[in-house]
Amino acid sequence: MTAHAHRHELYTVDQVRALDRRAIEQLGIPGYELMQRAAAAALVCLRQHWPQARRTAVYCGPGNNGGDGFLLAALAREAGLHAEVFAPAESRGDDATRARREFEHGGGIVNAWNDAVVLPAVDVHVDALYGTGLQRALAADVAALVRRIHATGAPVLALDVPSGVNADTGDVPGEAVQADVTVTFIASKRGLYTGVAPGYVGAVQLESLGLPETLWQNAHGDAELMQPWTLPPRPRQSHKGNNGHVLAIGGDHGTAGAIRLCGEAALRGGAGLVSVATRAEHLIALNSARPELMAHDVNGPQALEALLPRATVLAVGPGLGQGAWGHALWLTALDAHLPMVLDADGLNLLAQEPRQLSVPAVMTPHPGEAARLLGCDTATIGADRFAAVRELARRYQAVVVLKGAGSLVADPEGRVAVCPWGNPGMATGGMGDLLTGIVAALLAQGCDAWQAATLGVSLHARAGDLAARHGGERGLIATDLLEPLRLLLNGRES
Ligand SMILES: NC(=O)C1=CN([C@@H]2O[C@H](COP(=O)(O)OP(=O)(O)OC[C@H]3O[C@@H](n4cnc5c(N)ncnc54)[C@H](O)[C@@H]3O)[C@@H](O)[C@H]2O)[C@@H](O)CC1
Ligand SMILES: [K+]
């Protein structure tokens, strides 16, 4: 595996095809040779991950992904492995057909696939059914094959893309192969990192197939994979006034927890001061639980206005509600023209009463909120999260975080970053409130909206992973993230 500078870039399927064409036309490397290199890289990957494997079954689809599979099976046989091939359809295209013939000429047998076929006992299955060419849900017979593969319990190596996953969007419109490892060729496909796709890809390994660095020159991807980083150490002379003052607004009747979590995360995210504007009934509990928070009884817009002059950043939405109280505070907050993070009911109110945000703003919708903001359903968001997050950022002229596995961050110019961290233990109440507080704290410490959103998302997800590493995913709760968050923020953990 070569270390290329483009490794953090994520490409659309069209961009990957353009890179393939460039390799073929400009570098003069025939497509069939690329296929041979892909197969060789895949065999190395198989042996790295499963050094004891002796028996393998390779499932080859009709296109070039299937071609990769035939050549891998041929190489595996030459290397002394037992490799059986199953092909549900005829090969299409010159390279795939040639690859199939090469496998057969070497003595390999291509088994047809139908429901009566009994899959052999193998150490590893290799999925070469579909790659970047998949346009729609897997056909019923292929979906049945995929279920049978899973039922054997043996691990799966997917070539380029787990079949059934849309490499462009991360959507899985039907059945898909659940891979343990996906070895992906030439460039990272953006769809492998977001939405439901992370649940199918397993560990992703990128193989550049020995192509020279010049191939990627001026061929930038569509998105970038977030890299771990944090803020530099504080100057020794800093005082609390240098680190901003977050004012968290929310916590209607019955939702004290949301605003407390937001405020506490802003403190752990390094804000100099954190005030909370909330209902009077929450003050005693907030003060006793977290005395560092300055909790204020805010019964309406005037009380909020009195707090605004001291605030440098607003966090608007956790537990805000959509009633008269929440709506009045929301309007006052938006009119304050302070940098802000908008979340939860702050976003739901915006969906009902659209307006442009005139200040540096970060919006943090989950797919349900994103759907309300765009006036569509959540399935439409899931079908193309990249398009959804870009449209939100453009429409509201804000930096937008689209939450969910593989969170995306977009700015109004269309830049997108993808978060590779996080785990299903984080799908519990309060996690979003923490993110709001962290992003607000980073804005307060001088980050611009893009930095605050991308760093906030990455710290939040990595804190979740660290917390899950110690105690497991089930039963993980939002406050478990606060201590690891602090360690990560200070560069004490990686
Ligand atoms: N051309 C190149 O430069 C290289 C291509 N490579 C491999 O080629 C793959 C792409 O190959 P292809 O473009 O041939 O695409 P695929 O092999 O992914 O599949 C395309 C075929 O499937 C059909 N198809 C699409 N969706 C379907 C569905 N839902 N049900 C049934 N049939 C469907 C298409 O009509 C086409 O025949 C990559 O993922 C990679 O594995 C590698 O060999 C490396 C180099
Ligand atoms: K595949």
Task: Tell whether 136 is in a known binding site.
Answer: yes
- Cα of 215 vs centre of ligand 2, distance in Å, is 24
Here the tokens at position 302 are 């005037």
Residues 480 and 494: their CA atoms lie apart, in Å, by 17
Task: Tell whether 132 is in a known binding site.
Answer: yes
- Cα of 314 vs centre of ligand 2, distance in Å, is 46
Task: Tell whether 469 is in a known binding site.
Answer: no
Architecture of the 5-224 domain: 3-Layer(aba) Sandwich (3.40)
Task: For the beta carbon of residue 28, count every other beta carbon within 10 angstroms.
Answer: 8
The pLDDT of 91-97, averaged and rounded, is: 96
The pLDDT of 35-58, averaged and rounded, is: 98
Q: Convert the pLDDT of each residue in 318-337 to its tens digit.
A: 999 999 999 999 999 999 99
Could you list which residues have their CB under 5 Å from ion ligand 2?
65, 127, 158-159, 163
Task: Tell whether 160 is in a known binding site.
Answer: yes
Domain 240-489, CATH? 3.40.1190.20
Nearest alpha carbon, ligand 1 atom 27: 134
- Cα of 47 vs centre of ligand 2, distance in Å, is 18
Assess whether pLDDT exceeds 70 at residue 92.
yes
The interface predicted TM-score of the complex, written ipTM, equals 0.95
* Radius of gyration (C-alpha) of the chain in whole angstroms: 26
Residues with CB under 6 A from ligand 1: 20, 31, 34-35, 38, 61-68, 92-93, 130-139, 159-161, 185
Here the tokens at position 467 are 């917390």
Nearest alpha carbon, ligand 1 atom 41: 65
Percent residues over pLDDT 70 in the chain: 99
Instruction: Return the best residue to mutate from 134, 138, 165, 168 for the ligand 1 pocket (most ligand atoms within 8 A of CB).
Output: 134
Give the ligand whose atoms come closest to the C-alpha of residue 179.
2
Which of helix, strand or coil describes residue 58? Answer: strand
Task: Tell whether 433 is in a known binding site.
Answer: yes
Which of helix, strand or coil describes residue 184? Answer: strand
Assess whether pLDDT exceeds 60 at residue 344.
yes
Task: Tell whether 272 is in a known binding site.
Answer: no
Which of helix, strand or coil describes residue 116? Answer: coil
Give the CA dihedral 35, 38, 40, 41, nearest 10 degrees.
170
- Cα of 67 vs centre of ligand 1, distance in Å, is 9
Q: Are 73 and 142 in contact (CB under 8 A)?
A: no
- Cα of 129 vs centre of ligand 2, distance in Å, is 5
- Cα of 69 vs centre of ligand 2, distance in Å, is 9
Exposure pattern of 372-407 as b/e (b: 16+ CB <10 Å)?
bbbeeebeebbbbbbebbbbbbeebebbbbbbbbbb
Rounded to 5 degrees, φ, ψ at 220 are: -75, 155
- Cα of 129 vs centre of ligand 1, distance in Å, is 8
Here the tokens at position 292 are 């560092």
- Cα of 180 vs centre of ligand 2, distance in Å, is 12
Residue 136 CA: which ligand 1 atom is closest? 29
Comparing CA positions, the residue from 462, 458, 429 lying closest to residue 442 is 458
Give the ligand whose atoms come closest to the C-alpha of residue 142.
1
Give the ligand whose atoms come closest to the C-alpha of residue 133.
1
Residue ranges in 269-343 assigned as alpha helix (H): 283-289, 301-307, 324-335
Comparing CA positions, the residue from 484, 386, 69, 370 lying closest to residue 378 is 370
Nearest alpha carbon, ligand 1 atom 26: 134
Here the tokens at position 257 are 């927890």
Query: 486 vs 194, 420, 437, CA distance in Å?
Result: 26, 20, 13
Which of helix, strand or coil describes residue 221? Answer: coil
Nearest alpha carbon, ligand 1 atom 39: 131
Nearest alpha carbon, ligand 1 atom 36: 63
Q: Where are the domains of the chain?
A: 5-224, 240-489
Give the CA dihedral 309, 313, 317, 322, nearest 10 degrees.
30
Task: For the beta carbon of residue 411, count every other beta carbon within 10 angstroms.
Answer: 22
In this predicted structure, what is the pLDDT of residue 5?
60
In this predicted structure, what is the pLDDT of residue 286?
95
| Beta strands at 408-410 and 416-418: parallel, antiparallel or unpaired | antiparallel
Residue the block writes with tokens 């089930």: 474
Q: Are 376 and 409 in contact (CB under 8 A)?
A: no
The pLDDT of 430-455, averaged and rounded, is: 98
Residue 39 CA: which ligand 1 atom is closest? 43
> 447: part of which helix (H) or strand (E)?
none
Phi-psi region of 404 (alpha: psi -120 to 50; beta: other; left: phi over 0): left
Task: Tell whether 240 is in a known binding site.
Answer: no
Q: Convert the pLDDT of each residue in 214-264 to its tens digit.
A: 898 888 999 999 999 999 999 888 777 789 999 999 999 999 999 999 999
pTM: predicted TM-score of the whole model, two decimal places: 0.95
Q: Convert the pLDDT of each residue in 165-200 to its tens digit.
A: 999 999 999 999 999 999 999 999 999 999 999 999
Here the tokens at position 97 are 């057909």
| Beta strands at 399-402 and 408-410: parallel, antiparallel or unpaired | antiparallel
Residues 361 and 338: their CA atoms lie apart, in Å, by 9
Q: Is 359 exposed, middle or buried (0-12, 13-18, 19+ CB in 10 A)?
A: middle
> 261: part of which helix (H) or strand (E)?
helix 256-268
Comparing CA positions, the residue from 120, 262, 214, 193 lying closest to residue 407 is 193
Assess whether pLDDT exceeds 70 at residue 3.
no
Chain centroid, CA 111 distance in Å: 37
The pLDDT of 438-455, averaged and rounded, is: 98
In this predicted structure, what is the pLDDT of residue 218?
84
Task: Tell whether 125 is in a known binding site.
Answer: no
More confident residue, 54 or 116: 54
Give the ligand whose atoms come closest to the C-alpha of residue 71.
1
- Cα of 469 vs centre of ligand 1, distance in Å, is 37
In this predicted structure, what is the pLDDT of residue 2?
43
Comparing CA positions, the residue from 132, 14, 21, 115 lying closest to residue 67 is 132
Residue the block writes with tokens 């429409």: 395
Exposure pattern of 177-189 as b/e (b: 16+ CB <10 Å)?
bbbbbbbbbbbbb
Assess whether pLDDT exceeds 60 at residue 1.
no
Q: Any idea how long the chain is? A: 494
Q: At what angle do helices 13-25 and 31-49 cross, to 10 degrees?
A: 120
Q: Convert the pLDDT of each residue in 289-313 to its tens digit.
A: 999 999 999 999 999 999 999 999 9
Residues 269 and 243: their CA atoms lie apart, in Å, by 10
Q: Are 129 and 142 in contact (CB under 8 A)?
A: yes
Q: How many helices (H) and strands (E) does the chain have?
A: 17, 19
In this predicted structure, what is the pLDDT of residue 4?
61
Nearest alpha carbon, ligand 1 atom 21: 63
